Structure 1
Amino acid sequence: MRLYEHEAADIFEHAGIPVPRRGVVQSPEEAVDLAGRIGYPVMLKAQVLAGGRGLAGGIRPAGSPEEVEEIARTLLNLEIRSMPVRKILVSERVNGSKELYVGIAVDGSVGKPVVIASTEGGVQIEQTAKERPEKVARTYVEPDFGFHAYQARSLLQGLGFSQRVLISCSDVLARLFNVFTRWEALIAEINPLMVLPNGGVLAVDARMEVDNSALHRITHPLPEYLERFQNPIERKGREIGVTYVDLGGDIGLISSGAGLGMATMDIIGERLRPANFLETGGGITEKLLYQCMELVMMKPDLRAIFLNVYGGINPIHEGARGVVRYIKEHNVTLPIVAKALGNRQEETWEILRSGGVHVVTETATEAAVQKLCDLLAGDGQADKFMTR
């Protein structure tokens, strides 16, 4: 799960990584008071568990109490990716000679952490890695041996840093790796790491995601915020016992298994934009499928729903009753396409059809996705939803 920026910054600071003076507020009055104590100019940063804050107007500079009050009021009335802003991070505005990127992530393809550094800080690190690979240095780390400052210096030497900056960045990168391993993180990132005129550095932004499955192995005290999930829909999914991941598209997905769900998501993604990944963990009860419909429908601007379930031991007709009950109780008018195969499939098809669901009886998921595309095209919506 992703931590708020201010939480990640606190963890980084505790590990000895230099960060700006800062504090968290929940009202314009608190923002003005804190900014006065920090000293102007300051940065006001909306605290939400989502990317793209800058593009959404969630990160703003301020040079006076009047500006702070006005901006804070605006931010606290802002929603970013459907997440309301409840808190604002107020921090000193840092002027540096250069912005860098440093980060550590788990590379699932090799099963090791990868340490990445770049002389090109900013939001487009992935694009930089593709277009200007000479500006990005990376190395894989053997988890049993760790990652130390001398290894960080070796990694960074090819990027053209001065000796002073090289020492400062190497120390930060080694400390960041310690944070990464201590907290069982999936990613720990500083973007940007600001180089100061004196050769020192400050972690101007902090990002961290912790592996939910590893929390039981962490031996030091866990702050309560590690129990949170990234957004309200994902949190609701955890409560009902399913896995929900927001993907940002507009085609809702319900599947009865992780493998089936991922394959379906990829097939949908070839032509449309999936709104989510949702797998029921094998359960296909009436109550659970009703709750899954409720969960998927929480996403705003949804255009259609795709249901892909398979029943081996579990009969699937009960789940169909849950889907239809939700449709009728909430007058759902979105097009819904279902591919449901397995135990008591014929009965399942009839139940789904009684609720207006478009049932595809072929075994290939591609055929069901084609049906969905045809339905959207018939409504004149296809061009809106096709990926390019």
Structure 2
Amino acid sequence: MRLHEYQAKQVFADAGVPTPASQLAETVDEAVDAAEDIGYPVAIKAQVHVGGRGKAGGIKLVESKEEAREAADAILGMDLKGYHVSKVLVEEAVDFVNELYVGVTMDRGEGKPVAMVSTKGGVNIEEVAEEDPDAIAREHIDPAFGMHPYQARKVVYEAGVDRDVANDVASVLTTLYQLWDDRDGSDVEVNPLMITSDDEVIAADAVMNIDDDALFRQPELAEMSEEAAEGDELEQKADEYGFDYVRLSGNVGIIGNGAGLVMTTLDLVDYYGGEPANFLDVGGGAKADRIANALDMVFSDDNVDSVVFNIFGGITRGDEVAQGINQALEQFDEIPKPVTVRLAGTNAEEGMEILNEDLVTVEYTLEDAVQRAVEYAKEVQA
């Protein structure tokens, strides 16, 4: 479960992490009133689960009532990378002299949580990791003992953080690790952690993702779950259908059964010149109604121009999948997006015979199916 920025900041502030004064607003008038209460300048920030909000027009710095009204009117209701903006966070602007990145996540290769610090804050940390990996200092934590104070100081100093604020940054990092551990986090980060001219350390952003399977022991965060997905039709559908669904930036929709199979399909879409629109794993043993629900989800994504179905039958039977695909597509007078299907494994041949080829394109290899789906997506864009 992904918390919105305003929710994560509430959790961070309750734990002692310094955050700017802020108020949530759902209307233009509420946003203007909040800006007046906080005092200018303020930042008006779209509350949606996407990165790069600033570049996409979802964050605006304003210095007057007129500018606040204009910015709130522009952001509320906008479509931001496929997400409808229904809330904004009106936040005190921070006069900073430096921006850092601090975060805690799981390093699955090492089988341990890892704390990370970089002096290249305020930009996409994935880009930093790819272009300048040495700019990120890392420290693995033994979960049996937690983060020792010396480890927090060590990774902060290794990152090159100024000594005048190093202890405060280490304190924030220690708190983030404690939140990650106590709240069953998968990712907890601040980007940017701003440093002011007075050497104050302030969390200007907040990211907190929670392990869905642990929500039963996090009742406070579970209450935020419905609100976190509010305004995002796809996340609501994913919760309703019980899918693992991740929205990406491309236009080739992907459905598969098994995380490894879906990841392979993602890689092949990229290899053949396409851009994946999503990660959707329907799981093993998927019945016809679950397959129909998966298609409903992908068809609901406005970014998707073409769909590729990659099913390998182990527990899942090819004939069940084929029935689900037919069942879903026969509801439409006109198929909203071209669908390419590849079936293999248990009852795959029977499934191929069942598939209605007036509704789908059938390919017998994964490579051919992906190439066909990429071609369809490019034709829509042409």
Distance in structure 1 (CA, Å) of the matches to 2:292 and 2:132: 49
1:93 aligns with 2:96: no
2:292 to 290, 293, 296: 290
Q: Deviations over 1:97-128 (max 9, x none)?
A: 21111111111111211111111211133333
Q: Deviations over 1:222-267 (max 9, x none)?
A: 4511355594223313322333222222222222333333323322
* Residues 284 and 198 of structure 1: CA distance in aligned 2, closer, same or farther (over 3 Å): closer
Corresponding residue for residue 281 of structure 2 = 279
Corresponding residue for residue 258 of structure 2 = 257
Corresponding residue for residue 226 of structure 1 = 225
Corresponding residue for residue 362 of structure 2 = 359
* Residues 270 and 199 of structure 1: CA distance in aligned 2, closer, same or farther (over 3 Å): same
Distance in structure 1 (CA, Å) of the matches to 2:141 and 2:248: 30
Distance in structure 2 (CA, Å) of the matches to 1:355 and 1:257: 27
Q: Residue 346 of structure 1: CA displacement?
A: 3.5
Corresponding residue for residue 353 of structure 2 = 350
Distance in structure 1 (CA, Å) of the matches to 2:255 and 2:146: 40
Q: Is the 8 A contact 1:25 1:87 kept in 2?
A: yes
Q: Is the 8 A contact 1:306 1:336 kept in 2?
A: yes
In our comparison, the structure showing a higher alpha carbon Rg is 1
* Residues 142 and 290 of structure 1: CA distance in aligned 2, closer, same or farther (over 3 Å): same
Q: Which amino acid aligns with 2:25?
A: V
Using the TM superposition, name which of 185-194 and 305-314 deviates more.
Answer: 305-314
Three-state SS of the structure 1 residue aligned to 2:321 is helix
Three-state SS of the structure 1 residue aligned to 2:126 is helix
Three-state SS of the structure 2 residue aligned to 1:156 is helix
Three-state SS of the structure 2 residue aligned to 1:50 is coil
Q: Which amino acid aligns with 1:381?
A: E
* Residues 314 and 171 of structure 1: CA distance in aligned 2, closer, same or farther (over 3 Å): closer
Q: Residue 150 of structure 1: CA displacement?
A: 3.2
Distance in structure 1 (CA, Å) of the matches to 2:69 and 2:287: 51
Q: Equivalences for 1:1-388 in 2 at 5 Å?
A: 1-218=1-218, 221-222=220-221, 224-227=223-226, 228-229=228-229, 231-271=232-272, 272-312=274-314, 314-330=316-332, 331-332=334-335, 334-361=337-364, 364-372=365-373, 376=376, 381=379
**Residue ranges of structure 1 left out of the alignment (5+ in a row):** none
Distance in structure 2 (CA, Å) of the matches to 1:380 and 1:122: 34
Q: Residue 354 of structure 1: CA displacement?
A: 4.0
Q: Which amino acid aligns with 2:104?
A: I
Q: Which amino acid aligns with 2:55?
A: L
Three-state SS of the structure 2 residue aligned to 1:3 is coil
Distance in structure 2 (CA, Å) of the matches to 1:313 and 1:56: 43
* Residues 126 and 258 of structure 1: CA distance in aligned 2, closer, same or farther (over 3 Å): closer
TM-score scaled by structure 2? 0.90
TM-score scaled by structure 1? 0.89
Percent of aligned pairs sharing the same letter = 38
**Residue ranges of structure 2 left out of the alignment (5+ in a row):** none
Q: Residue 190 of structure 1: CA displacement?
A: 1.0
Q: Residue 133 of structure 1: CA displacement?
A: 4.4
Q: Which amino acid aligns with 2:56?
A: A
Q: Residue 291 of structure 1: CA displacement?
A: 2.0
Q: Is the 8 A contact 1:168 1:199 kept in 2?
A: no
Q: Residue 202 of structure 1: CA displacement?
A: 0.8
Three-state SS of the structure 1 residue aligned to 2:193 is strand
Q: Residue 160 of structure 1: CA displacement?
A: 4.0
Distance in structure 2 (CA, Å) of the matches to 1:366 and 1:262: 14
Root-mean-square deviation (CA, aligned residues, Å) is 2.5
Q: Which amino acid aligns with 1:82?
A: G
Q: Residue 94 of structure 1: CA displacement?
A: 0.8
